Amino acid sequence: MYTANENRYESMQYNRCGKSGLKLPAVSLGLWHNFGDNSDYDNMVNLCKTAFDNGITHFDLANNYGPVEGAAESNFGKILKDNFASYRDEMIISTKAGYYMWPGPYGDWGSRKYLIASLDQSLKRMGLDYVDIFYHHRMDPETPLEETMEALAQIVRSGKALYVGISNYDGPTLARAAEILNELHVPFIINQNRYNIFDRTIENNGLKEKAKELGKGIICFSPLAQGLLTDRYLDGIPEDSRIRTDGRFLKEGQLSDEKLSNIRALKKIANDRGQTLAEMALAWILKDGYVTSVLIGASKPSQILDNIKAIENTTFTAQELKEIDKYSI
């Protein structure tokens, strides 16, 4: 029987999620990769234990994480049952719906039918009565925003989620969604978006500033740009790398000579700060207090331990930020 590290809360930083009462660890564990049916189960268990033993209380999933779709939730449900049953009230568990999940017109996008049915399936796979946060995973250009937001309201009223969030929204749509959810008295507290040194979309589409203005938290995925903001590719492409094993999210063509030159320059800035490139990339996201938590992925427990070190120094000089911006293309 697993017994968690009794000192697990001593070194992690916990940030308030917007103006809500919920706090999230500065570093959270995402199960987007390495929790599907093609991954080693014992390693999944070790990843979750390592995270929790070091104060990572937040575990983030989605209905379609796999492969196959739903596999990450099923595997995580088994991990919960076998190892974390007595710790459920110390954990924040989130899931999402919005991307393709099953055939036909009811297994995709943002209808009330899809969102409610999908969460019911997710809860069954994980063996849970409720999730702490349920997200709509992407904007739907055809379903009225009012319908999608009312579905989130119904989910909270049913007790199947404590809070709701939205993912991959832009600033204007965030503002409209927040207005609707506020009128419905729904605890909407968080936005999940891609954000890293190389990808500043949430700065350019207004979401980062709008979330701060509205008192909503932000949690960022792909903070290391699928491994580009690490030492992983500086000496060639390893055979076990994501480019070689799963080319859907990172392709060899992205590693141009200019990109590699910029990565090396960023690595030097990090080393001069006494950090690895990965540590600096995570610290950069947390630097200004706009972002509540960064979502890391990991294939090895050691990667989790290394990434947690980022919270030790999130202060940057104006010159460092200027240099980072120079190499952020």
3-state secondary structure of 223: coil
The answer as to whether 271 is a domain residue is no
| Residue 252 one-letter amino acid | E
Q: How many CB atoms are closer than 10 A to CB 17? A: 24
3-state secondary structure of 18: coil
Check pLDDT > 60 for residue 241: no
Check residue 249 and give its pLDDT.
58
What are the pLDDT digits (tens) for 192-218? 999 999 999 999 999 999 999 999 999
Check pLDDT > 60 for residue 145: yes
- Whole-angstrom distance, CA of residue 22 vs CA of residue 17: 6
329 pLDDT tier (thresholds 50, 70, 90): confident
Q: Which domain holds residue 199?
A: 14-254+278-314
Mention every residue, 6+ apart, whose C-beta is less than 8 A from residue 193. Answer: 167, 168, 169, 201, 202, 207, 218, 220, 221
The answer as to whether 329 is a domain residue is no
- Whole-angstrom distance, CA of residue 216 vs CA of residue 7: 30
The answer as to whether 325 is a domain residue is no
The answer as to whether 218 is a domain residue is yes
The residue-averaged pLDDT of 227-240 equals: 77
> Does this model's pTM top 0.75?
yes
The answer as to whether 310 is a domain residue is yes
The answer as to whether 92 is a domain residue is yes
pLDDT above 70 covers a percentage of the chain that reads: 95
Total of domains in the chain: 1
The answer as to whether 61 is a domain residue is yes
Strand locations in 129-223 (E): 131-136, 161-167, 188-194, 217-221
- Domain with residue 229: its CATH number is 3.20.20.100
246 pLDDT tier (thresholds 50, 70, 90): low
CA distances to 45, 115, 182, 289, 301 from 215, in Å? 35, 25, 12, 12, 34
The answer as to whether 190 is a domain residue is yes
